[in-house]
Chain A
Amino acid sequence: MSKRVLMQGNEAVVEGAIAAGMRFYAGYPITPSTEIAEQSSVRLPQVGGTFIQMEDEISSMAAVIGASVAGVKAMTATSGPGFSLKQENIGYACIAEVPCVIVDVQRSGPSTGLPTSPSQGDVMQARWGTHGDHPMIAVSPSSVSECFYKAIRCFNLSEKYRTPVILLMDEIVGHLREGVEIPSVLDVEIINRTVKSSEGHQPYEGDIHEIPGWHLNGGGRYNITGLSHDLSGFPTNSNEITDKLIRRLMGKIEHNADDIIEYEEKYLDDAETVVLCYGGTVRAAMSAVLEARKQGVKVGMFRPVTVWPFPERRLKEISPKVKRIIVAEHNYGQIVLEVERIVKNDCKIDFIGKVDGTVITPAEILKRIKEGK
């Protein structure tokens, strides 16, 4: 049995997160993500969890990491300006391998920008927002139902790979209200981190791409640091150990890309033109593709659900078979750079980018599909 309810994207994130086992939320009010904090403040104590409104975005991220190292699944949510402030501690979670979920409901930037308008301008920030080489997973939902299920997936990936995961939303999806089936018995697997608890166990030990297993009070008295560290978790100045650490951190995502990456394809079999988009933009693109198909245009859609790591291998299979890829995104051109890097000269690349705070309409995408035909 499931129940069908009218729900907002931001609310669905909270329900999904709680279903995944989130029992701690720390945040700071910011448009257009605030409903996630509000809903968490209502729902978490009902399930015995904890909500705290912190003094700022930085401390919210810090408290989330603190709760997670103490063994509790934790999440925070924010938007552009707050996402910038959280970056240092996101890097901490990367190097210390602390599972946690960060929701970024993107709004128009830079700076305060257009706080209530949609954007996808944080895509590259999601990948490279914190300093230094680091792994990153970012998942971009396109519907309210996906907000629920992708929130669960973010927690699962985060717990499995012991790394921060970004639920990369946009204002379109965050504030969208639509009917959604909430299952009474969860129809997806919930992954919990492995905790190796035997005494004398090295918290970061294992082979090159192995995932460590510890949390504070997990049996041994561990040390956790943002400094370069050895397998015991203690700081080191060794270049050799640091090299190994960074390669393992990057490798645990790279080598498991097939498990992590998710994408969606529509009408690619005979497609000559492919619309490539993600997040809220998918809705307009799908509408345009269906209309073009009705008019006899051979067009399909390719949609990275996991934006980072980018579904590079699959795109490289598609690109030689088509004439043109139209990248549509709400920014000045971010994912299109990744597409250009991967596709090279396999086919023509077209770009629709919007930076005025309005949404890309199906008509705009349809026009471009037909123009290049």
Chain B
Amino acid sequence: MPAELINKYMREAHLPHIWCPGCGHGILMRDVAQAIEDLGLDQNKICLVSGIGCSSRAAGYMDFNTIHTTHGRAIAFATGIKLARPDMNVIVIAGDGDIAAIGGNHLIHAARRNIDMTVVVFNNDIYGMTGGQFSPTTPTGDFATTAPYGNIDRPFDIAALAEAAGASYTARGTAYHAPLTIKLIKEGIEHKGFSLIECASVCPTYYGRKNKKGGSVELMTWQKENCVMSDKAQHMSKEELEGKLVIGRLSEKDYPEYTEQYKKIIEKARK
């Protein structure tokens, strides 16, 4: 029940949130709460880490051990927390600019180490907090306040970037596909190692308006009509996948996990 979920996992004194009407972030925050509820995790054993930007305000709203860090550095703070307290479930909530631009280095290196944490990216393809500048995931040709003649940058595929860097679990959900996204976040949390769930959010205020793509309903209708499940996408050609967003579990590998490996170092050093 949504009300029970709010009572249990939200800090009601700090609501309402600052997100704009129609923003996808509220749905994604709820998905994180639902995944934690479904897994029956102890709230005291969860450490929620965020960076700076619209998405990172989620940390203040959710009733866990929460830390709202500096821009781009959430994963680096989370690495210290996880190494100090390997028994904690460390979850990072980050935005696309936060994690793929200023924090890109930390993303690829945490993925390479395969340190046990779950990164949930609220990807709205734009810098929302600062008023609609293009981000590393803004599609080429789209408009933003700093791309007034159209964006010439090529966008990152954050999930593919993480996979290539060594993440042992990657997936993609959307604000529209809530039950799927909840399932993917659950899988990510249960997965031992570095897991990343890229969640396509919607930003009607800046992205939608600047690109004349409509409001929240239109943006989410696009998600509804243009997403393809990963198992189905495997059998589709490049042409058929043009303009589509592949969702679902994207990769799962069995790599050694960093804190487990470090335990062995301690054993060796103490002999």
B270 to chain A, nearest CB (A): 6
For A45, the closest partner residue in chain B by CB is B269
Contact B269 A65 (CB under 8 A): no
Query: A364 contacts the other chain (Cβ, under 8 Å)?
Result: no
Contact B269 A46 (CB under 8 A): yes
A93 to chain B, nearest CB (A): 10
**How far apart sit A144 and B88, CA to CA, in the bound complex (Å)?**
38
Contact B66 A223 (CB under 8 A): yes
Query: B266 contacts the other chain (Cβ, under 8 Å)?
Result: yes
Which one of B30-38, B74-82, B147-155 is at the A interface?
B74-82
A261 to chain B, nearest CB (A): 30
Count, chain A residues at interface, CB 8 A: 41
For A62, the closest partner residue in chain B by CB is B76
**How far apart sit A69 and B90, CA to CA, in the bound complex (Å)?**
13
Categorize the interface residue count of chain B. Answer: 35 or more
Query: B60 contacts the other chain (Cβ, under 8 Å)?
Result: yes
Contact A70 B68 (CB under 8 A): no
**Across-interface contacts of B266 in A (CB, < 8 A):** 45, 48
- The answer, among B59, B81, B108, for a CB contact under 8 Å with A66, is B81
**Across-interface contacts of B265 in A (CB, < 8 A):** 45
Contact A216 B106 (CB under 8 A): no
Known: A48-B270, A62-B70. A234 touches B47 (CB 8 A): no
Query: B83 contacts the other chain (Cβ, under 8 Å)?
Result: yes
**How far apart sit A26 and B270, CA to CA, in the bound complex (Å)?**
20
Query: A149 contacts the other chain (Cβ, under 8 Å)?
Result: no
Interface members, chain A 6-31 (any B CB < 8 Å):
23-24, 26
Contact B105 A59 (CB under 8 A): yes
**How far apart sit A89 and B60, CA to CA, in the bound complex (Å)?**
19
**Across-interface contacts of B64 in A (CB, < 8 A):** 221
Most buried by A among B49, B73, B105, B106: B73
Contact A70 B88 (CB under 8 A): yes
**Across-interface contacts of B82 in A (CB, < 8 A):** 66
Contact A52 B65 (CB under 8 A): no
Query: B234 contacts the other chain (Cβ, under 8 Å)?
Result: no
Interface members, chain A 312-330 (any B CB < 8 Å):
none
Contact B109 A226 (CB under 8 A): no
Chain B 91-107 interface 0/1 with A at a Cβ cutoff of 8 Å (1 = within): 00000000000000110
Contact B80 A63 (CB under 8 A): yes
Contact B80 A224 (CB under 8 A): no
A14 to chain B, nearest CB (A): 14
Contact B43 A221 (CB under 8 A): yes
B19 to chain A, nearest CB (A): 14
Query: A269 contacts the other chain (Cβ, under 8 Å)?
Result: no
Contact B262 A50 (CB under 8 A): yes
Query: B85 contacts the other chain (Cβ, under 8 Å)?
Result: yes
Contact A63 B83 (CB under 8 A): yes
Interface members, chain B 10-36 (any A CB < 8 Å):
11, 14
Query: B228 contacts the other chain (Cβ, under 8 Å)?
Result: no
**Across-interface contacts of A74 in B (CB, < 8 A):** 80, 84
Query: B130 contacts the other chain (Cβ, under 8 Å)?
Result: no
**How far apart sit A225 and B73, CA to CA, in the bound complex (Å)?**
13
For A235, the closest partner residue in chain B by CB is B60
Query: B7 contacts the other chain (Cβ, under 8 Å)?
Result: no
Chain A interface, DSSP helix/strand/loop, else mixed: mixed
**How far apart sit A28 and B26, CA to CA, in the bound complex (Å)?**
37
Contact B76 A221 (CB under 8 A): no
**Across-interface contacts of A26 in B (CB, < 8 A):** 79-80
**How far apart sit A224 and B269, CA to CA, in the bound complex (Å)?**
34
Most buried by A among B73, B77, B78, B84: B84
Query: A72 contacts the other chain (Cβ, under 8 Å)?
Result: yes
Most buried by B among A58, A71, A72, A222: A58
Contact A226 B84 (CB under 8 A): no
Query: A217 contacts the other chain (Cβ, under 8 Å)?
Result: yes
A46 to chain B, nearest CB (A): 5
Query: B230 contacts the other chain (Cβ, under 8 Å)?
Result: no
Query: B67 contacts the other chain (Cβ, under 8 Å)?
Result: yes
A366 to chain B, nearest CB (A): 48
- The answer, among B11, B43, B45, B106, for a CB contact under 8 Å with A59, is B106
**How far apart sit A45 and B65, CA to CA, in the bound complex (Å)?**
27
Contact B70 A226 (CB under 8 A): yes
Contact A217 B44 (CB under 8 A): yes
Contact B68 A65 (CB under 8 A): no
Contact B67 A24 (CB under 8 A): no
A106 to chain B, nearest CB (A): 24
- The answer, among A50, A70, A92, A225, for a CB contact under 8 Å with B60, is A225
- The answer, among B43, B60, B67, B73, for a CB contact under 8 Å with A58, is B73
A132 to chain B, nearest CB (A): 13
Interface members, chain B 126-161 (any A CB < 8 Å):
none
Contact B70 A72 (CB under 8 A): no
Contact A24 B83 (CB under 8 A): yes
Q: A24-B83, A71-B85, A224-B67 are in contact. List 12 more A-B contacts (CB 8 A).
A: A50-B84, A56-B105, A58-B73, A59-B106, A66-B76, A66-B77, A68-B84, A70-B85, A89-B73, A217-B45, A221-B44, A221-B66
Give residues in A with beta carbon < 8 Å to B: 23-24, 26, 42, 45-46, 48, 50, 52, 54-56, 58-60, 62-72, 74, 88-89, 92, 216-217, 221-227, 234-235
Return 14 A-B CB contacts under 8 Å, by A number.
A59-B76, A59-B106, A62-B70, A65-B77, A66-B76, A66-B83, A67-B83, A74-B80, A89-B70, A89-B73, A216-B47, A217-B45, A222-B66, A225-B67
Give residues in B with beta carbon < 8 Å to A: 11, 14, 43-45, 47, 49, 59-60, 63-70, 73, 75-85, 88, 105-106, 108-109, 262, 265-266, 268-270
Top 4 A-B pairs ranked by shortest CB distance? Answer: A66-B80, A63-B80, A62-B76, A59-B76
